[in-house]
Structure 1
Amino acid sequence: MSSALSTSPTMSRSLVARLDREWRVLTTRPAVLARAATWHLGVPFTSLDDIVGATGYWARRDDRVAAGQSVADGDAVLAALLVAARGDDLAARVVLQRLLPGIVAVARRWARRTGGERAALDELVAAAWTVVRTFPVERRTRHVASNLLRDTEYHAFVRSTRRLTVLEPTPTHLLDLPVDTSASMDPADELAELLAAARTLTVRDRALVELLVAGTPMAELAQAMEVSVRTVANHRDAVVHRLRQAARELSAA
């Protein structure tokens, strides 16, 4: 079974093609397979392609039928991979390979709204990496692959759109209402304390936050910073974690 993906002409030299080349190098490398053996997946394999197949994905329908594998079997293997992926980039990479056909399909659906298939794909792959590393598989044990794809689409495109609603101006009629003075802290003071608590952010961190709030696509950020989309995503997650921690400390004070 091969995990090679067919790509459209606009994607022929894109991230998908690079990931596919990387996969072909990894899939039968002895050191890689020895590392995969430590995940205790409960299935035999001689390549990473075999592991992807064991999660329920087969490039050809005949291969799937021949394997005689149930959806529950695939979910169990994928769940074990996700647990390993929390601390192992290689396991996360295997899950990403499992999701790539679906990610490509989602990218094509969003292409017109995101500046093309490549831009959509970059956003989705960055989001998928975060979703894979944090997916609560203990609570969501069924239809794991489809849930991963759904979460990836949400994190890449839907959540960011919803966040922008907090930037809308206050409706005019609300400006005539009396101010509620019962709050324990003035909102401006609370914001000032939060910003003070977040002073550990570097200049680069603050610049990243400003660009993300402005809705700058992940691919543009990566190009401007001359790093990979994955690096930007990891940097974003670290900054968000620190801001959330500052907010929690402030609320507990």
Structure 2
Amino acid sequence: MDAVQPTLVTRLNAEWEWLCADSGNSDRVRSWMLDAGVLDEDQPPAELGELCTLLRKRSERDGPEFSDAWMGVLLHRVSAGDGRDAELAARVLVQAMLPLACRVLRDCVRSGESSEDVAQVVIASLWEVVRTYPIARRSRKVASGLRMELWHRVSRELKRELAPSEHLDEAWVAALPGGVEPADAVAPVLLARAAEEAGLRAAVGAVEELAGVRGEMVALLVWALEREVLTAEAASGICDHYREGAPQDVAAASAWGVSPVALRRRRSRAVSRLRQVAPQWVEAA
């Protein structure tokens, strides 16, 4: 990516400083967190930036459950669509996720392309994810769900918006399968990140595995994990079985600590659940 920060990111950071200077914004966000019991009365600082720093540090200390709690509070405000409150809640979430968006941006910029063009796609996707996240239906694993929704949306939008480049930078060359057009390779790279986030890292393996039918299957499994259709164990079992060079059931069952019969039954139940929800995944894609 360009050494200089994209203009859109710079503007977001400048706008954030302006929002933090308005004590009324901090008062509103503090009241939401206090009313929801996310923070105690003696904890929230008066300034919005400091409040968000506190939420981030508590998330690092207390883990994903705390992240889910405060992000969920903001998403409920966004979904309520209550004018200024909804806009402020969305803006706080966008700023909280901006470091992730910048990492996605760095991974997606190719040699010969301007980071400004990619930034437009990534930041627009970030706003869309925040504004449309179905918090009423998906109130668990909110932080993870937001991250994966961002990866999915960026992957789709970049594939539509950006034409292939003739030359790639070293980072892309190292990451992409040989002989694949860059535009087609955006989805596998981001899918690999989403799969790792979902807990499928060991089953997925190299990026080149995520093309064609294999990639579609992994995308379906990631989607199913986001919506808690499958457990991580069931998804990993399917992902590891339906691939080239997969271990025989006897060896796989031994690794899982179950009998081959139990393994096949478990896999059959998981596949049956996937068949039932696959039409929803197709519609969402």
Give the TM-score of the pair, scaled to structure 1.
0.50
The reply on whether 1:105 has 2:99 as its aligned counterpart is no
Shift of 1:78: 0.5
Q: Which residue number in structure 2 is paired with residue 116 of structure 1?
A: 114
Identical positions, percent:
29
Match of 2:72 among 71, 74, 79: 79
> Deviation at 1:148?
1.3
Q: RCO (CA 8 Å, sep 6+): is it higher in 1 or 2?
A: 1
Partner of 1:233: none
1:10 corresponds in structure 2 to 4
Check 1:138–1:54 CA distance in 2 against 1; reply closer, same or farther (3 A cut). farther
Asked if the contact 1:85–1:133 (Cα under 8 Å) also holds between the matched residues in 2, the reply is yes
After superposition, the Cα gap between the structure-2 partners of 1:143 and 1:8, relative to the gap in structure 1 and judged at 3 Å, is farther
Give the drift of 1:38: 4.9
Aligned residues: 150
1:52 aligns to what?
Answer: 52
Structure 1: any 5+ residue segments left out of the alignment? Answer: 1-6, 164-253
1:148 matches 2:142? no
Looking at structure 2, the residues matched to 21 and 162 of structure 1 have their Cα atoms a distance apart, in angstroms, of: 30
Two-structure CA RMSD over aligned residues (Å): 3.1
Describe how 1:163-178 pairs up with structure 2 within 5 A. Answer: none
Partner of 2:28: 35
The residue that corresponds to 1:173 in the other structure is none
2:88 is matched with which residue?
Answer: 90
Structure 1 Cα separation of the partners of residues 59 and 72 of structure 2: 19
The answer (yes or no) to whether the contact 2:27–2:46 under 8 Å persists in 1 is no
**Counterpart position of 1:126:** 124
CA distance in 1, matches of 2:140, 2:88: 23
Task: Note the C-alpha offset of 1:137.
Answer: 2.2
Structure 1 Cα separation of the partners of residues 144 and 114 of structure 2: 23
CA distance in 2, matches of 1:90, 1:69: 25
Could you say what secondary structure the match of 1:22 adopts? helix
Shift of 1:27: 1.6
Please state how far the C-alpha of 1:109 moved relative to its aligned partner: 0.8
Task: Give the superposition deviation at 1:92.
Answer: 0.1
Query: Does the C-alpha gap of structure 1 residues 33 and 54 become closer, same or farther in structure 2, counting only changes over 3 Å?
Result: same
